[in-house]
Structure 1
Amino acid sequence: MPPGLVIAAPRSSGGKTTVALGLMRAFQRGGVAVQPFKNGPDYIDPAFHARACGRASFNLDSWAMPAGLISSLLAHASDADLALVEGSMGLFDGGARRGEAGIGATADIAALTGWPVLLVLDVSGQAQSAAAIALGCTTLRADVVVAGVVLNRVASDRHQQLAVSAIEGAGIPVVGCIRRNDDLALAERHLGLVPPGEVTQLDTQIDLLADVVASQCDLPKIRALAQAGRASATNEPAMPPPAQRIAIAQDAAFVFTYPHLMSAWRAAGAELTIFSPLADQGPDPSTELAWLPGGYPELHGGRLAGNAVFQEGLRRFASTRPVHGECGGYMVLGQGLVDAAGIRHAMVGLLGLETDFSKRKLHLGYRAARLLGPSPLGSPGARVTGHEFHYARVTAMGNDEPLLEAVDASSQPVSDLASRRGLVSGTFFHLIARTE
């Protein structure tokens, strides 16, 4: 594998995305072929990476993916000059150990690949104490190497001098100091960053990040910190294609698909066709399966309810062929959806599910499931992993059959997660991998 770095931080909201996107675009502008990756189940950040680098970004997840699948995904970096992995949460944060690869922590990917960590430290509200945090991150795991530090949200020259002296006094090189700048913030909404397709002048904003990172960080030193990876490439797919010809909903209401799944399906010979429910389109009748990803149906309930061509087309399709929905797509397959204003919108009605966003309730975390009935996810008895992240309250499940039984990252049962009726099925989690 090529030289690489894992961009991590001791906590969430410390500046990982700012530094990652800035480095990706800055190196790409300098003629470096950068292969981006994202630790964990985030499905929005990889889309930003792709815009910054011009290459698809892939999730790496030591909790939800077998080690062989991670190695297979790392093979996408084989023709790159540099691999950059954006971490998630804090460097060592994850769930309870589930399988062979780890707990889902960014540190697991650093250990598996051998790529050193570039630690992003938000030093707002501290100075010399930042050295204690940096030192702790370098010593907690012997199999994780912290090669350098980028300071973020530096307030002044004096602030910078105090923090840098303390950190370098502890034997850790500081390779960048980014000043506090509110203009660097990317727009957010309740599921994370606003998707790239909805951000006006996104390339201008990424260029701003690259300009700041290039002027306030030492790019040659950062690239010199990268080390060649040691993981061996394999050819283990996340999941075989559930059909030869698959119709996938894609627009502002259906935006969340994992790149590794779509890439694996195409590589296995599946043909993926796109349709837009918001444009009042149904799935191509010549396809064998309709797949509705997650997204923001709660922001478009009125349009989805009024688009008769989409709704009738999906009902006709479901009478003879499988239809599967994930999270927002699952909600659209249900009877109705109440938006944040308390207005109920009639959905497609292929399942008994009713959801309500007027009083939000967070559902978040890994899911490990065993299928109870047949669906595009697999045959009864198959085991899959996924991630759930939404704010909908379930007000009714109807009389549909259970699709699966599932537990969270602490092995606690999770209810009201999935159902099926005839050829139609849905889950609140986004599929990551089939594990057996």
Structure 2
Amino acid sequence: MSAGLVISAPASGVGKTTLTLALARAWRHRGLNVQCFKSGPDYIDPAFHAAATGRASVNVDSWAMDRATIEHLVSRGTDADIVLAEGSMGLFDGVAARGVSGTGATADIAEMLGWPVVLVIDPSGQAQTAAAIAAGLRDYRPGVRLAGVVLNRVASLRHEDLVRRALHDIGIPVFGALPRHAEISLPKRHLGLVQAEEQAEIGKLIDEAARFVVEHVDLDAVLRAAAVWSPQAAANGLNVTPPGQRIALARDAAFSFVYPHVLEAWRAAGAEISTFSPLADEAPDASADVCWLPGGYPELHAGKIAASAHFCGGLRAFAETRPVHGECGGYMVLGTALTDADGVRHGMTGLLGLETSFAKRRMHLGYRLAALAAPMPGHQAGARLRGHEFHYSTIVAQPDTPLAVVHDATGAVIAETGSRRGQATGTFFHLIAEDR
């Protein structure tokens, strides 16, 4: 049996990721096996979890996944001593329309699994009001149980005492209070945290966060608050069909946004994955039967990608006889051109007519439900796919045949339809699961 907890907050940017990593590493230092998960569609945090625990982390998402898929994914925590699910945004934040098993809110996962919530609260600019916020979150949804609070970025001992007293008066335990500590802030860029694999010092940073949390948080009390949990065998497993038997997967700093559970689903279905680096001017494996370019940060490496003649030529040759698919950044690289943040236009591989600009920045963010109008690798026309879109690039031209009719979570049709030309297909959304 394991013990489960959800780490959440009233809002984004409060310190959920840092606390999750610190708790995971601190308990690991004590000899415990720790398993992490990420609630919601954020594809960056699981790599940080893996760095902290030494165990692969995956996303669980109530908007895109059914309960059986979520239970299958979390069953990997059976052999762990403690399981931590890190939330996204605020505890109850999701979309307006319910998806497969919820709205995508962290609270959905907490209620579904029966795990109590440790709330991270930043009381900057307030004192007793922080207790009112905690009380509101505690009482908002009866099926969600609040275990207690960790205060983050407290200004002084007097400030901490005011907040602690107010929380004590309403019966909410305080597991600890963290003073401001800039040295353990994780670096960020326009799509969120700088990825774990790009940070050479990530291990030291997590160790410092763990040391800091051990000094200020009662780890034993947090552990006692966790719910004893014994997962039930799921009726079905991962709900993602592999795009082919032998998959050539682009993988480097420009092509790194791929959900861990998707790769696991491909391998579980018997697919073989070979990776290659476009930034190292490598072409896809000639023996593969499909090539997949995930999202990432091609806009930061556009000049280098454009100059990678072996990669561009190899990809074009591959696409003459076999399918190539790109997601988000990968889709942009399959296009004709990409204009970077400085306004410099770079020629891309030209397998699609798509042209995008990062100089004209506008955020595109949200869940996507796509009904395929044409086939793409692994899926036939008519298939319904659930995914998530998050980028700042603007479409300058999207002249090819639309790949899908794409709706947002409210049901509204959006312009990012994806494209198809010959053997090449692409979408701006990242695939999470097939719609059963």
For structure 1, the residue ranges without an aligned partner over 5 or more in a row are: none
- Deviation, 1:386, is 0.6
- Deviation, 1:416, is 2.7
SS at match of 1:320: coil
CA–CA separation in structure 1 for the residues paired with 2:416 and 2:263:
27
**1:360 touches 1:392 (CA, 8 Å); kept in 2?**
yes
Q: Please list, as runs of the form range in 1=range in 2, the aligned pairs for 1:319-334 lying within 5 A after superposition.
A: 319-334=320-335
**1:74 touches 1:233 (CA, 8 Å); kept in 2?**
no
**2:337 touches 2:355 (CA, 8 Å); kept in 1?**
yes
Report % sequence identity.
56
Cα distance per residue 1:376-431 (max 9 Å; x no partner): 15111111111100011100012x21111111111111113301112110000100
Q: Where has structure 1 moved over 6 Å in runs of 4 or more? A: none
- Deviation, 1:169, is 1.0
> Could you say which residue in structure 2 is the equivalent of 1:310?
311
AA at the equivalent of 2:352:
L
Q: Please list, as runs of the form range in 1=range in 2, the aligned pairs for 1:200-279 lying within 5 A after superposition.
A: 200-229=200-229, 232-234=232-234, 235-279=236-280
Moved more, 314-323 or 192-201: 192-201
Cα distance per residue 1:54-101 (max 9 Å; x no partner): 011110110111222111111111111110011000000000233341
**1:249 touches 1:291 (CA, 8 Å); kept in 2?**
yes
- Deviation, 1:233, is 3.1
- Deviation, 1:182, is 1.4
Distance of aligned partners of 1:182 and 1:211 in 2 relative to their CA distance in 1, 3 Å threshold: same
Return the TM-score normalized by structure 1.
0.98
> Could you say which residue in structure 1 is the equivalent of 2:143?
143
CA–CA separation in structure 2 for the residues paired with 1:233 and 1:244:
28
**2:35 touches 2:80 (CA, 8 Å); kept in 1?**
yes
Q: Please list, as runs of the form range in 1=range in 2, the aligned pairs for 1:12-411 lying within 5 A after superposition.
A: 12-229=12-229, 232-234=232-234, 235-398=236-399, 400-411=400-411
SS at match of 1:183: helix
CA–CA separation in structure 2 for the residues paired with 1:89 and 1:356:
28
Moved more, 91-100 or 281-290: 91-100
CA–CA separation in structure 2 for the residues paired with 1:150 and 1:294:
34
AA at the equivalent of 1:135:
A
CA–CA separation in structure 2 for the residues paired with 1:50 and 1:345:
35
CA–CA separation in structure 2 for the residues paired with 1:322 and 1:231:
39
AA at the equivalent of 1:336:
A
> Could you say which residue in structure 2 is the equivalent of 1:412?
412
> Could you say which residue in structure 1 is the equivalent of 2:11?
11
CA–CA separation in structure 1 for the residues paired with 2:79 and 2:417:
40
CA–CA separation in structure 1 for the residues paired with 2:98 and 2:160:
41
CA–CA separation in structure 1 for the residues paired with 2:282 and 2:82:
41
CA–CA separation in structure 2 for the residues paired with 1:32 and 1:97:
39
Corresponding position: 1:431 with 2:431: yes
CA–CA separation in structure 2 for the residues paired with 1:250 and 1:291:
10
CA–CA separation in structure 1 for the residues paired with 2:139 and 2:338:
49
Cα distance per residue 1:97-145 (max 9 Å; x no partner): 3334100000000000001000111011111111101111111111000
- Deviation, 1:229, is 3.1
AA at the equivalent of 1:367:
R
- Deviation, 1:230, is 6.1
CA–CA separation in structure 2 for the residues paired with 1:100 and 1:138:
25
SS at match of 2:351: coil
CA–CA separation in structure 2 for the residues paired with 1:142 and 1:231:
22
CA–CA separation in structure 2 for the residues paired with 1:77 and 1:349:
44
> Could you say which residue in structure 2 is the equivalent of 1:421?
421
AA at the equivalent of 1:275:
F
AA at the equivalent of 1:203:
G
**2:241 touches 2:378 (CA, 8 Å); kept in 1?**
no
Instruction: Count the aligned residue pairs.
Output: 435
SS at match of 1:148: strand
CA–CA separation in structure 2 for the residues paired with 1:338 and 1:100:
37
AA at the equivalent of 2:418:
A
- Deviation, 1:297, is 0.5
Distance of aligned partners of 1:425 and 1:370 in 2 relative to their CA distance in 1, 3 Å threshold: same
- Deviation, 1:170, is 0.4
- Deviation, 1:231, is 5.2
**2:3 touches 2:229 (CA, 8 Å); kept in 1?**
yes
CA–CA separation in structure 1 for the residues paired with 2:67 and 2:378:
20
CA–CA separation in structure 2 for the residues paired with 1:229 and 1:42:
25
CA–CA separation in structure 1 for the residues paired with 2:229 and 2:409:
28
AA at the equivalent of 1:114:
G
**1:238 touches 1:260 (CA, 8 Å); kept in 2?**
no
**2:353 touches 2:397 (CA, 8 Å); kept in 1?**
yes
CA–CA separation in structure 2 for the residues paired with 1:320 and 1:293:
20
CA–CA separation in structure 1 for the residues paired with 2:301 and 2:163:
47
CA–CA separation in structure 1 for the residues paired with 2:108 and 2:231:
12
**1:114 touches 1:228 (CA, 8 Å); kept in 2?**
no
SS at match of 2:75: helix
